[in-house]
């Protein structure tokens, strides 16, 4: 029989590493599957998803700007997906219904805890940005029991609203980037899209506690401006989101195939590749 088909939909999609990551997982686990990338605009999204599944496709990843639309299309959602109102993984169920999950949050937590050895319990966390990525990670972050999560955004109202939406889950508040400076943090997560245009969010210099970790959700061949900022400010570790990318993919692979691939060799390979 032909290999089961999977794909990532996004717009644009040219830069994606997901087909490569899933090909490595398939090789490692001996699973037979075919994973491709497709440029799909928001207008064509629903038709493309329905066609993909009608033609035998088994699972989809959805990336920018399609995660909110994926949430709408799912018949059944995980708890993480339900509350984040964004979905990055769709799976076709036996009865033909579509199940949706958001594996971004668990991907980030696994990278921080397992790969980087960071605990979040009783830590002070600063989350920069109040867009789709922040939405996906706030629930899983609060479940780790931090003593405080502060969301800071260029447009302050968006951070305040997002904090209000999630305040039932733990100690979270929102503010503007320009309100920062009075408090220092153990973990600073950059979930803005500033790195994608080579920019650094405007940050004061005194927001890192001793031994702090800086983590940019964005990733690239070169260290991002935020990763460099963290290094200059003396963070204990300052890394980008390649580990999260591989971990969220592994979680999607597990939803689809019921097997959890080993992520460490895949992260190593991607890191070696970009170092040349």
Alpha-carbon distances of 227 from 3, 113, 191, 223, rounded to whole Å: 39, 19, 12, 6
Q: Does 207 bind ligand NDP (CB under 6 A)?
A: no
Q: Which of 41, 122, 155, 178 binds ligand NDP (CB under 6 A)?
A: 155
Closest CA to 256 of 27, 77, 93: 93
- Residue of closest CB approach to ligand NDP: 131
Closest approach, Cβ 129 to ligand NDP, in A, equals 4
Q: Which of 26, 141, 150, 194 binds ligand NDP (CB under 6 A)?
A: 194
- Looking at beta carbons only, is 18 or 144 nearer to ligand NDP? 18
Tell me if residue 67 is catalytic.
yes
Alpha-carbon distances of 243 from 119, 183, 228, 231, rounded to whole Å: 16, 28, 17, 18
Choices 34-42, 91-99, 112-120, 150-158; region in contact with ligand NDP by CB under 6 A = 150-158
Q: Which of 141, 212, 244, 252 binds ligand NDP (CB under 6 A)?
A: 244
Closest approach, Cβ 2 to ligand NDP, in A, equals 29
- Looking at beta carbons only, is 64 or 184 nearer to ligand NDP? 64
| Bridging pattern class, strands 185-190 and 208-216 | parallel
Please enumerate in sequence order all residues whose Cβ is within 8 A of that of 110, keeping only pairs 6 or more positions apart, or say none.
247, 250, 251, 263
- Looking at beta carbons only, is 53 or 163 nearer to ligand NDP? 163
Closest approach, Cβ 163 to ligand NDP, in A, equals 13
Given a contact cutoff of 8 angstroms between Cβ atoms, the answer to whether 34 and 6 are in contact is yes
Task: List binders of ligand NDP among 102-131 (CB under 6 A).
Answer: 104, 107, 129-131
Given a contact cutoff of 8 angstroms between Cβ atoms, the answer to whether 195 and 214 are in contact is no
Closest approach, Cβ 209 to ligand NDP, in A, equals 22
Closest approach, Cβ 236 to ligand NDP, in A, equals 20
Q: Does 162 bind ligand NDP (CB under 6 A)?
A: no
Q: Does 21 bind ligand NDP (CB under 6 A)?
A: no
Q: Does 144 bind ligand NDP (CB under 6 A)?
A: no
Given a contact cutoff of 8 angstroms between Cβ atoms, the answer to whether 101 and 94 are in contact is no
Task: List binders of ligand NDP among 65-104 (CB under 6 A).
Answer: 104
- Looking at beta carbons only, is 21 or 53 nearer to ligand NDP? 21
Total chain residues near ligand NDP (CB under 6 A): 28
Closest approach, Cβ 241 to ligand NDP, in A, equals 3
Contact residues for ligand NDP (CB under 6 A)? 64, 104, 107, 129-134, 153-155, 158, 191-196, 199, 201, 217-219, 241, 244-245, 248
State the catalytic residues.
67
């Amino acid at each position: 029989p032909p290999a089961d088909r999977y794909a990532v939909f996004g717009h644009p999609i040219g830069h994606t590493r997901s087909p490569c990551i899933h090909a490595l997982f398939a090789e490692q686990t001996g699973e037979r599957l075919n994973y491709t990338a497709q440029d799909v605009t928001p207008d064509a999204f629903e038709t493309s998803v329905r066609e993909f599944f009608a033609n035998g496709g088994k699972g989809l990843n959805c990336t920018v700007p399609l995660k909110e639309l994926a949430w709408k299309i799912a018949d059944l959602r995980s708890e993480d997906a339900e509350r984040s109102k964004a979905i990055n993984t769709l799976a076709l169920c036996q009865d033909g219904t579509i199940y949706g999950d958001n594996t971004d949050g668990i991907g980030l937590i696994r990278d921080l805890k397992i790969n980087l050895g960071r605990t979040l319990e009783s830590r002070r966390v600063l989350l920069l940005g109040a867009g789709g990525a922040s939405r996906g990670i706030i629930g899983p972050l609060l479940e780790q029991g931090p003593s405080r999560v502060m969301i800071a955004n260029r447009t302050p109202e968006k951070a305040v609203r997002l904090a209000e939406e999630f305040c039932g889950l733990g100690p979270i508040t929102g503010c503007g980037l320009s309100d920062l400076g009075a408090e220092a943090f153990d973990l600073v997560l950059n979930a803005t899209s500033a790195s994608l245009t080579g920019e650094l969010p405007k940050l004061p210099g005194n927001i890192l506690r001793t031994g702090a970790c800086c983590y940019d959700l964005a990733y690239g061949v070169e260290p991002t401006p935020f990763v460099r900022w963290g290094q200059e400010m003396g963070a204990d570790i300052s890394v980008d989101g390649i580990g999260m990318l591989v971990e969220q993919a592994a979680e999607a692979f597990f939803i689809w195939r019921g097997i959890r691939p080993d992520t460490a060799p895949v992260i190593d390979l991607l890191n070696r590749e970009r170092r040349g």
